[in-house]
Structure 1
Amino acid sequence: MPTPFSVPIWQKPQTASAFQSLVPDGASVDVVIVGGGFMGLSTALHAARLGLGVQVLDAGEIGQGASGLNGGQVIPGLKYDPEWLLEHFGPERGQALVDFAASTADTVFDLIRDEKLAVPFTRNGWIQAAHTETALKAAAKRDRQWRARGADVRLLSGSEIADMTGAKGYLGGWLDRRAGIIDPLAYTLELARIAAASGVSIAERQKVVKLRNEAGLWRVSTENGDEVRAKAVVLATNAYTDGLLPGLAETIVPLHSFQVATAPLSSNLAATILPEGQAVSDSRRILVYYRKTADGRLVLGGRGRMTMPRSEADWAHLQRALVRLYPALADIAIEKRWFGRVAMTPDHLPHIHEPETGLLAVAGCQGRGVGLMSALGKRMAGYLATGDAVQLPFPLSPIRPIPFHAFRQVGVAATIAWYRMLDAFER
Structure 2
Amino acid sequence: MAQDVLFPLSKSLWAATAAPAPQTQALTASTKADVLVVGAGYAGLSTALHLAEQGVSVVVLEAREIGFGGSGRNGGQVIPGLKYDPDELMAMYGPERGPRLLQFVGGTADAVFDLIDKHGMDVPRRRAGWIQGAHTADAVKLTEGRARQWERLGVKVQVLDRASAQALIGTDRYQGGWVDTRAGGIQPLSYVRGLARAALAAGARVHTDSPVAALSREGAQWVARTASGAQVAADRVVMCTNAYVGKLLPGLQESIIDACTYQVATRPLPPAIRDTILAQGHVVSDTRNLLLYFRLDHEGRLLMGGRGPFREPRGPADWAHLERVLVKMFPQAAGQPIEHRWCGRVAITRDYLPHLHEPAPGLLADIGCQGRGVGLQTAMGRAFAQYLVGGDARSLPVPITPIQGLPLYALRRLYVGAMINYYRMVDGGL
TM-score band (shorter)?
over 0.9
Letter of the structure 1 residue corresponding to residue 353 of structure 2: L
- After TM superposition, give the deviation of residue 98 of structure 1 in Å: 0.7
Per the alignment, residue 95 of structure 1 pairs with 99
Aligned residues: 425
Mapped to 2, the partners of 1:37 and 1:6 lie a distance apart of: 16
CA deviation digits over 1:214-236, x for unaligned, max 9? 22111111111010100001110
Mapped to 2, the partners of 1:365 and 1:16 lie a distance apart of: 24
- Call closer, same or farther: CA 1:297–1:245 in 2, change over 3 Å: same
Mapped to 2, the partners of 1:231 and 1:126 lie a distance apart of: 41
- After TM superposition, give the deviation of residue 323 of structure 1 in Å: 1.2
How many percent of aligned residue pairs carry the same amino acid?
49
Partner residue of 1:401 out of 398, 405, 408: 405
Q: Secondary structure at the match of 1:164?
A: helix
- After TM superposition, give the deviation of residue 6 of structure 1 in Å: 8.0
Q: Secondary structure at the match of 1:210?
A: strand
CA deviation digits over 1:324-364, x for unaligned, max 9? 11112221111110001111100001110001110110010
Per the alignment, residue 18 of structure 1 pairs with 23
Per the alignment, residue 48 of structure 1 pairs with 52
Letter of the structure 2 residue corresponding to residue 263 of structure 1: R
Q: CA RMSD for the aligned pairs?
A: 1.6
Q: Secondary structure at the match of 2:269?
A: coil
- After TM superposition, give the deviation of residue 21 of structure 1 in Å: 6.7
Note if contact 2:147-2:157 (Cα within 8 Å) is conserved in structure 1. Answer: yes
Per the alignment, residue 173 of structure 2 pairs with 169
Q: Secondary structure at the match of 2:14?
A: coil
Per the alignment, residue 269 of structure 1 pairs with 273
- Call closer, same or farther: CA 1:4–1:40 in 2, change over 3 Å: closer
Per the alignment, residue 216 of structure 1 pairs with 220
Unaligned runs of 5+ in 1: none
Note if contact 2:20-2:193 (Cα within 8 Å) is conserved in structure 1. Answer: no
Unaligned runs of 5+ in 2: none
- After TM superposition, give the deviation of residue 103 of structure 1 in Å: 0.4
Letter of the structure 1 residue corresponding to residue 35 of structure 2: V
Matched, 1:254 2:272: no
CA deviation digits over 1:261-306, x for unaligned, max 9? 0121111111110000100001112111000011111011001110
Matched, 1:238 2:242: yes
Note if contact 2:7-2:343 (Cα within 8 Å) is conserved in structure 1. Answer: no
- After TM superposition, give the deviation of residue 4 of structure 1 in Å: 8.9
Per the alignment, residue 188 of structure 1 pairs with 192
Give TM-score, length-normalised by structure 2. Answer: 0.96
Q: Secondary structure at the match of 1:142?
A: helix
Mapped to 1, the partners of 2:158 and 2:105 lie a distance apart of: 18
- Call closer, same or farther: CA 1:15–1:100 in 2, change over 3 Å: closer
Q: Secondary structure at the match of 1:43?
A: helix
Note if contact 1:124-1:177 (Cα within 8 Å) is conserved in structure 2. Answer: yes
Per the alignment, residue 38 of structure 2 pairs with 34
Note if contact 2:19-2:123 (Cα within 8 Å) is conserved in structure 1. Answer: no
- Call closer, same or farther: CA 1:384–1:4 in 2, change over 3 Å: closer
- Call closer, same or farther: CA 1:321–1:77 in 2, change over 3 Å: same
Partner residue of 1:152 out of 153, 156, 164: 156
Matched, 1:132 2:133: no
- Call closer, same or farther: CA 1:155–1:397 in 2, change over 3 Å: same
- After TM superposition, give the deviation of residue 3 of structure 1 in Å: 5.8
- After TM superposition, give the deviation of residue 410 of structure 1 in Å: 1.8
- After TM superposition, give the deviation of residue 17 of structure 1 in Å: 3.1
- Call closer, same or farther: CA 1:135–1:198 in 2, change over 3 Å: same
- Call closer, same or farther: CA 1:6–1:200 in 2, change over 3 Å: closer
CA deviation digits over 1:243-264, x for unaligned, max 9? 1111111111111110000121
Mapped to 2, the partners of 1:4 and 1:126 lie a distance apart of: 29
Mapped to 2, the partners of 1:57 and 1:3 lie a distance apart of: 20
Letter of the structure 1 residue corresponding to residue 15 of structure 2: Q
Matched, 1:415 2:415: no
Matched, 1:286 2:290: yes
Mapped to 2, the partners of 1:156 and 1:362 lie a distance apart of: 35
Q: Secondary structure at the match of 2:402?
A: coil
- After TM superposition, give the deviation of residue 421 of structure 1 in Å: 3.5
